[in-house]
Amino acid sequence: MKYFYSSFIITAIGLVLAFFIGGVGAIYICFLLSILEVSLSFDNAVVNAKVLNGMDEVWRKRFIIYGIPIAVFGMRFLFPLLIVSVASGHGMFETLNFAISQPEKYHEALNAHKHEIYIFGGAFLMMVFFDFFFEKDRSISWIKLLEDNALVRFLKGVPNINVILAVLLGIYITALTQSSLYATAYFSAILIHMIISSLNEMFSIDGVTNGVMGFLYLEVLDASFSFDGVIGAFALSDNIFIIMIGLGIGAMFVRSITIYLVEKKTLMQFLYLEHGAHYAIFALALIMFLKVFHEVSEVVTGTIGFGFILLAFICSLWENKRRDKKLQEVQAKNFD
């Protein structure tokens, strides 16, 4: 429970602020938004934990200290303002005033560019999935029919297969949409992922992830997960401060879950949890691409992601029991 004390404190402060902004109704909206954020980003916590496991203690603490305000204030407040500001040609302060005085028009401006946002987020998340799926050193397979077949084993031997597949997918999406903006958003995400990964590999020492690069990677990853929630939040409220508070509370709990997974070494105890998180990421990336053509409810997105995590957790429990039983049989046989 100690891992969630800070989240409960932030929740209490946030709900008090929400009450002064909009009364009891605003508190209820913040509660719904926090649930939305956690449901959409639980797999984010699992992947964050994997990255943090490879970082030193100093940068783990910095991720908490500096990552929280960036996640809450930066990605869920400033970033949407920046998008609308660039798209509309207005300054940041003018856009902020626009968001406060005319929230419906601010929402319309953000909504007008949501497809480029989805394309960027989907491309980055797809790269995260490809990195995991075609990882050469990964020996544990969950769904063996998909992860351990002749084709996948061959592709793992192809240099930069993740980039090749991502580029092919980008070419297909560009041909399908006939949009240079979508192409720019897509390949910008691929480029950013490649730059961060390359610099991390260059400066990592003895398998320990470079702190700066790991931090940047986690923040871009968090941004990719937050896009869906930020845009979907306007279905519940037009007030950007209520949206920031609600999503910020959810982001705080996601951070707490991340630290819990790291400190308790949960990914080592439950073998397939990481697999489930990455399949959820793959599903989210596909849904983001699909949203360019059709509306998909955040409820569906969150349910699919949580479903993969839950299934992976159950399979991990079953595998742990199977291994324990096998170990007991071996020990009993050696004793006899």
Checking if the pLDDT of 206 tops 60, the result is no
pLDDT in tens, 28-58: 888 888 887 887 777 778 888 877 777 777 7
pLDDT in tens, 111-125: 777 888 889 888 988
Indicate the domain borders of the chain: 2-335
Half-sphere exposure of 118 (CA within 13 A, CB side): 24
Checking if the pLDDT of 231 tops 60, the result is yes
Report the percentage of the chain scoring pLDDT > 70.
Answer: 93
Confidence of residue 217 (pLDDT cuts 50, 70, 90): confident
Residues 48 and 209: their CA atoms lie apart, in Å, by 13
The confidence score (pLDDT) of residue 284 equals 87
Q: Which residue has the tokens 């009891």?
A: 24
Q: What is the pTM of this model?
A: 0.81
Checking if the pLDDT of 187 tops 90, the result is yes
Please tell me which of 82-96, 265-279, 320-334 the model is most confident about, judged by mean pLDDT.
Answer: 265-279
pLDDT in tens, 54-110: 777 777 777 777 777 777 777 777 777 777 777 667 777 877 887 778 777 777 777
Checking if the pLDDT of 168 tops 90, the result is yes
Amino acid in the structure at residue 211: G
Amino acid in the structure at residue 212: V
Checking if the pLDDT of 205 tops 70, the result is no
Number of Cβ within 10 Å of residue 155's Cβ equals 15
Checking if the pLDDT of 212 tops 60, the result is yes
The answer to whether the CB of 72 falls within 8 A of the CB of 251 is yes
Residue 257's contacts (CB-CB under 8 Å, 6 or more residues apart) are 42, 45
Residues 226 and 288: their CA atoms lie apart, in Å, by 12
Checking if the pLDDT of 208 tops 60, the result is no
Q: What angle do CA 170, 174, 176 make, to 5 degrees?
A: 115
What average pLDDT is seen over the chain? 82
The confidence score (pLDDT) of residue 174 equals 92
